[in-house]
Each structure stands twice: as structure tokens, then as C-alpha cells.
Amino acid sequence: MGTRIALFTRDLRVHDNPLLVGADQVVPLFVLDPKLNGISANRLRFLHQSLADLRQNLRDRGADLVIREGDPVAETARLAAEVDASSVMVAGDVSAYAQRREGRLRDERLPVEIAPGVTVLPPGAVRPGGGGASYRVFTPYFKSWERAAWRASVVSPRTIAMPSGIAPGRLPSLPAGESPDAIPGGETEGRRRLRAWQGQISRYDDDHDDMAADNTSRLSAYLRFGCLSPLEVALAAKADDSPGAQAFLRQLCWRDFYYQVTAAFPTLSTEPMRAKADTEWRYDEDGLQHWRDGMTGVPIVDAGMRQLRAEGWMHNRARLITASFLTKHLGIDWRPGVQWFFRWLLDGDVPNNSGNWQWTAGTGNDTRPFRKFNPIRQAQRFDAEGVYVRRYVPELKDIDGAAVHQPWRLPDSVRRGLDYPGPLESHRDEAVWLRD
Ligand code: FAD
């Protein structure tokens, strides 16, 4: 079985990680690619926190995390030669970057093994009837996904044998993020949150859309970096037959769904899936900037956009409302929206960010592509008392109850005292919903 280089990428964990079992000796490696310095500051910080935690978890098992800086393929090949490795194992992934890395590793004539673990089911494991490359509609995918045979999860090894004499390398000092209230990275923190979430999961079907209750798992960033195994999270939900756990399992399946869409449609972040739906976007730099700044004058939209900056995360209902507002109300192209979310989101990744944006903009896999969320009705339904808005828009903190959703309806004397913008110029004529 020999010595294996375990090349960590999107699987920064020691639980359910196939990289760590089945070889005589393992050399855990993470390569800091200078290209990573261009990624979002929030995700870079989360990544570094996760690496520090992974290193500790490996040390607790008698091994270490070897850190190298440079081109991941060149550094892997160099270390493989140094330790006379018999193979390199890396998690299978769908991004263009990961695909290139895998191809280049093979070009180095290294025996490459691809491990499962970034999703519950690898893309392509279930296919639609009629032989299509991927499912384009969610519900049939979910049915096949749920019924499919999932692999067994891998038990975390108590000890890991690693060759001696390898310089571990230093982790650079922790980079600053941009969001003051971002949650910290790492498998230890992810597992703590998963355990806590299991105590709340039964309420998920009733509460997950209640924006003020904040009763979703907030596990997305740990799944994004593989601090948590999606399989382990799914197995835990499957074993719990409460309606909440079943609703959560269905939601988790969207993540796998978009990975298999991306595998079949790799240009998801730049090209519309439904080309015809992608024609007449308005150029409106002013509207776009107000949207980014959370200053559109529509409180529920502004609350979501400000949560994004403060926490590097936004409630799913708010993501739907803000993305729909940009594309369907302001008529602005979804691509700048994708980029803005990508800059801030701790969980930001190509399949889920671009897939959901395309769904919302009507260019993707929504079976009702012309649906248009009315932000006021959404606010009245999912933030009935206005608690979420007041949490993120302090200018409106003294407006009681649901009145906070329509400040333009407040008496003139109150409205004039608010340091909060009226609806956007570009949106005023179109804003029929302001009047009903
Ligand atoms: P929970 O409600 O607790 O759900 C559990 C898990 O299921 C999540 O952690 C996530 O992994 C998965 N999940 C839930 N909803 C979705 C969904 N609609 N699509 C895919 N997976 C889902 N999610 C990302 O992980 N990364 C992104 O970059 C991302 N961008 C989005 C952009 C837009 C415009 C929209 C509408 C949604 C986006 N989502 C994205 C999906 C969803 O909003 C987040 O996964 C969810 O809010 C994360 O919070 P949570 O962990 O508390 O979710």
C-alpha cells in the first residue's frame, strides 16, 4: 500500500475523510496557492482557521499537516519525490480549477486516486431517465438521490502513520476578514455546531423561513470547506424521522444538485443555462451600488444586504429576496450579483452561488422562470413583526411592528426624521407594489 500524499483541498477534516485511511503511511499536505490571495478576505480567513484546526487534529493523531506554498501540482510532485510516494489522493471536485489540477497531476505521471467526499453523492452517480448528463429539475433528482446507495462514512483513524523527517512548514499569520461578525472556521467548531443543531433540527420545517427566528443550521461554510462531511450531516438527518430533519435533508440535497449541474455545465457562473432568458438587462451602476450598499430604500432588501457584509452570510430567504430584487425589479444582470455575493459569503462557491442566482434570475433551472418575488409581501410573510429588519437597519429601529417594511407609508412627520433613503429613482415607476 506504500506512502500516500493526502492532498487536502475542500475536505479539511479528519472525520469521514477517505484520504486518511487505506495506506501504510500518509503525508497530509496543503499547498497555499498564491492565487488564493485573490479570493475573498472572509473565506481566506476561514480557510486559515480551518487549516490551523486540521493541523491540531492531525497532531493529536500522531501526524502533522505539511504546508507548502506555490503551485499545488509542482509542490505535490516535489514532496512525492522526496518521500518516494506511491500515490497521491485528492477529493474529486467539479470546479474548472480542480479539474485542471487533477489533469496536471496526472500529467506529472503521479498515480492519482480520486476520493469521494465533497458531496453526498458524486456528480453522475444518479442520472435522469433518457440518458441526460445531469438532472435539470430538482424534485426527480431528490427522489433518486434519496433512494441511491450512499457510501459508508469513514471512521476517523485514532493514529495516522506518517514518515519522519518532513519539515511541516509554517502557517502564515491569520489574515483579516472583512465581516466583523463572521463565524470562525475549523472542523472542531463545525462539529460543535452540528451537535447543537441536532437539538434544534426538528423545528426546521416550521421555522426555516422565519428570518428573525434564525433557525437554520448555519453549517454552509463548514460544508463549503469540508470541515464537515456532507455525507455525515446527511446520514444524521436521515436517521432522524422528524419532519424537520426530513425537510433539512431535502434542502441539503440542493447542494449536491448544483454540483451535478456544474459538472455538466461548467460555465454556470458566466453563461445562462437558458440562453433566451438572458437578453435585456439594464445598465444601472447607481442602482447596483445602492443594492450593494443596502441603501435601496426597501428595508427587507437592505437588511439582507447588510447582514451579508456584517456576517459574511445571509439568510436563504433574504438571498432569494435580494437576488430577485436586483434581477427582476431593477432589471440588472445577475452576474454582478454573483460577484458581489462571492466577495462576501463564507459559504460562497461556484455551484451553489451561481446555480441559485440563475434560478432566481430565471436563467437557470427554475421551472417557473418568470416568478417575481414581491419584497413587501415576502417581508410581511417571513418577517411579520419586522424584527429582522430592525436588527440590520438601525435607522429604522424605532418603527414598531410590520410598519417598518414600508417607511414611505409613515406619516410625513415621522418619515422626515428618518435618516433612510426613499425608493430608488430607477425603481419608482415600476414600484406598483409600493401602492398596494
Ligand atoms: P440550512 O437551511 O441549514 O440548509 C442546510 C444546508 O443545505 C446548507 O448549509 C447548504 O449546504 C444546503 N442548502 C440549503 N439551501 C440550499 C440551496 N438553495 N442551494 C444549495 N444548497 C443549499 N449556498 C451555499 O452554500 N453557497 C453559496 O454560494 C450560496 N449562494 C446562494 C445565492 C443565492 C442567490 C441564493 C438564493 C442561495 C444561495 N445559497 C448558497 C443557498 C442557501 O442560501 C445557503 O446554502 C443557506 O442559506 C446556508 O445557510 P444554512 O447553512 O443555515 O442553511
Reported confidence tier of residue 7, pLDDT bands at 50, 70, 90: very high
> In the prediction, which pLDDT does 429 show?
58
Cα–Cα distance, 272 to 279 (Å, whole number): 10
pLDDT in tens, 323-370: 999 999 999 999 999 999 999 999 999 999 999 999 999 999 888 888
Cβ of 262 less than 6 Å from ligand 1:
no
The mean pLDDT of the chain is: 95
Cβ of 348 less than 6 Å from ligand 1:
yes
The three-state (H, E, C) secondary structure of 365-421, written as one string: CCCCCCCCCCHHHHHHHHCCCCHHHHHHCHHHCCCCHHHHHCHHHCCHHHHHCCCCC
C-alpha cell read off for 284: 444601472
Give the distance between the most distant pair of CA atoms in the chain: 78
154 has a pLDDT exceeding 50? yes
CA distances from 141 to 123, 257, 258, 312 (A): 11, 7, 11, 30
CA distances from 228 to 37, 100, 157, 201, 272 (A): 24, 25, 16, 17, 31
212 has a pLDDT exceeding 50? yes
Closest C-alpha to ligand 1, atom 9: 220
> In the prediction, which pLDDT does 259 show?
98
ipTM: 1.00
Of ligand 1's atoms, which has the minimum distance to the CA of residue 257?
20
CA of residue 316 to ligand 1 center, whole Å: 6
pLDDT in tens, 294-310: 999 999 999 999 999 99
> In the prediction, which pLDDT does 436 show?
42
Rounded mean pLDDT, 57-65: 98
55 has a pLDDT exceeding 90? yes
Closest C-alpha to ligand 1, atom 19: 254
Q: Is the pTM of this model over 0.80?
A: yes
> In the prediction, which pLDDT does 209 show?
97
Name the percent of the chain lying above pLDDT 90: 89
433 has a pLDDT exceeding 70? no
236 has a pLDDT exceeding 70? yes
Cβ of 215 less than 6 Å from ligand 1:
no
Phi-psi sector, 38: left (phi>0), alpha (psi -120 to 50), beta: alpha
